[in-house]
Amino acid sequence: MKEGTRALHTIFNPDRIAVVGASDNPGKLGYHVMKSLTQGKYPGRIFPINPGRKEIFGLKAFPSLAQVSEKIDLAIVVLPAEMVPQAIQECEARTIPGMVLITAGFKEIEDRRGKMLQEEIQTLAERAGIRIIGPNTFGVVNLHYPVNASFTPEFSSIEKGTVSLVSQSGGMSHLLGFLFIEERIGASKIVGLGNRCNVDFSEMVEYLMDDPTTRVIALYLEGIDEPRPLIEAARQGRGRKPILAYKAGRSMTSDKASLFHTGSLAGKHEIYEGAFRQAAILSVGSSEELLDSAKALSLCPLPKGNRVAVLSGQAGPGMVCCDVCETGGFTIPPFSQEIQKKVDRLLPPLAIRTNPVDMGPAWYDAETTKGIVEAVLRDPEIDALVICVMFASANRAAAGVLSEFLRENRTEKAIVACFSAPHGIWDLEIKALEQGGIPNYPTPERAARSLTNLLRYRKLMEKGD
């Protein structure tokens, strides 16, 4: 394991953490960091560092790092910016390999002293061999260890999974983290890089490529000073794990805003897009699309071709899916003759029985709906399926029957679903569906868009073959 990778592994899997600037005052970030660690079921030892307290959160507090006799793996620092250089020197004296530097007030501010201070701490960290996440970060979260080294205790409620998010923005980390919760997407790690003192996107991609609990890497970027290392890291890992990127800074206004947010200009968007394509990084255009597509890539096989079947319990959602699929590169071909005959036997002539199929006349009959899905699933002329079922009281059993069938008949074909119902009705059925490897989305557009991005990713990979 490389030295840098070993240090990052320790940051995400520390046995002993010191919180420098820990507090029992809810008005301080040090309080919320302590709350995240103690409520997040962190299994290791916590050492609060605060010269004015003897105990914080029921734990013995220490006046300084020097007073802690045990070896420390990670320091979470929430001190004023001008005190950070001394904190790094104290970490060096204790040979602490990693730091999460939540403190802001460095190169992201207008005052040039902020930039000078960041250059100073970078020099100190490099000399000491300390890997720093930040400064100006919300922190890091490893759901599998677990450790929530951030000031957001709510992140501990994200389900464990295989998608890792690396974000340049703490605000976007929170937006996306809360979407993980709302959309029931399982996460492995969430990282706020902030100003990227000496850990940038390239180092995180290299680390996550070797991380056994990460299957898909999702990036949110604004602007990076040296894009080439990220592109090279993605190229070296090409084919091992999918990488997606949502790049902000398309407009002149957001480009300038990026400089005062994380200290870097966003740069010309078209150049990034071209570089992403060359490195097989799938570029997306929104927060929802980033997580929707990451979810699909973490659960689904890639479609082997561009022939899709659209099966819908009601005609309207099926038409919407067709629009998105065809715009995204899929064709909606006729079924093979044998399969078409089976569908014809299951549906009356008043229904649209060719692709796309309107299963409406069978919407109250779960077994008939299952028969249609089963027939189309076996069609050799079809590479992928979109299945849409909107809840109505008469089709209450449909989600359970289809979920069970699809889980018991796993296939190499890419399948996405839009099973839509008020909360509390199909929740368990949808959870079981996704545990079986079929992602579900709240709208037909999002389901179809995720499927088209599976196709886009497959084409990106083919260009490098």
| Cα 12 from Cα 326, distance rounded (Å) | 42
Model confidence pLDDT, tens digit, residues 72-126 = 999 999 999 999 999 999 999 999 999 999 999 898 888 788 899 999 999 999 9
pLDDT attached to residue 443:
97
Query: Which of the four pLDDT bands, split at 50, 70 and 90, describes residue 445?
Result: very high
pLDDT attached to residue 418:
97
pLDDT attached to residue 253:
54
**Domain boundaries for CATH 3.40.50.261 within the chain:** 158-299, 301-463
Model confidence pLDDT, tens digit, residues 315-327 = 999 999 999 999 9
Query: Which of the four pLDDT bands, split at 50, 70 and 90, describes residue 41?
Result: very high
pLDDT surpassing 60 at residue 261: no
| Cα 33 from Cα 22, distance rounded (Å) | 7
pLDDT attached to residue 256:
52
**Domain boundaries for CATH 3.40.50.720 within the chain:** 1-136
Query: Which of the four pLDDT bands, split at 50, 70 and 90, describes residue 293?
Result: very high
pLDDT surpassing 80 at residue 271: yes
pLDDT attached to residue 251:
57
pLDDT attached to residue 465:
44
| Cα 189 from Cα 267, distance rounded (Å) | 27
Tokens describing residue 112: 């040039």
Selected from 3.30.540.10, 3.40.50.720, 1.10.3720.10, 3.30.1120.10, the CATH number assigned to the domain covering 1-136 reads 3.40.50.720
Tokens describing residue 162: 């295989």
Contact (Cβ atoms closer than 8 angstroms) between residue 450 and residue 416:
yes
Query: Which of the four pLDDT bands, split at 50, 70 and 90, describes residue 1?
Result: low
Tell me the whole-structure pTM to 2 decimals: 0.93
* Residues 6 or more apart in contact with residue 69 via CB below 8 angstroms: none
Q: Which CATH architecture has domain 158-299?
A: 3-Layer(aba) Sandwich (3.40)
Q: Which of 285, 308, 412 is nearest to 357 (CA)?
A: 308
Assigned CATH class of 301-463:
alpha beta
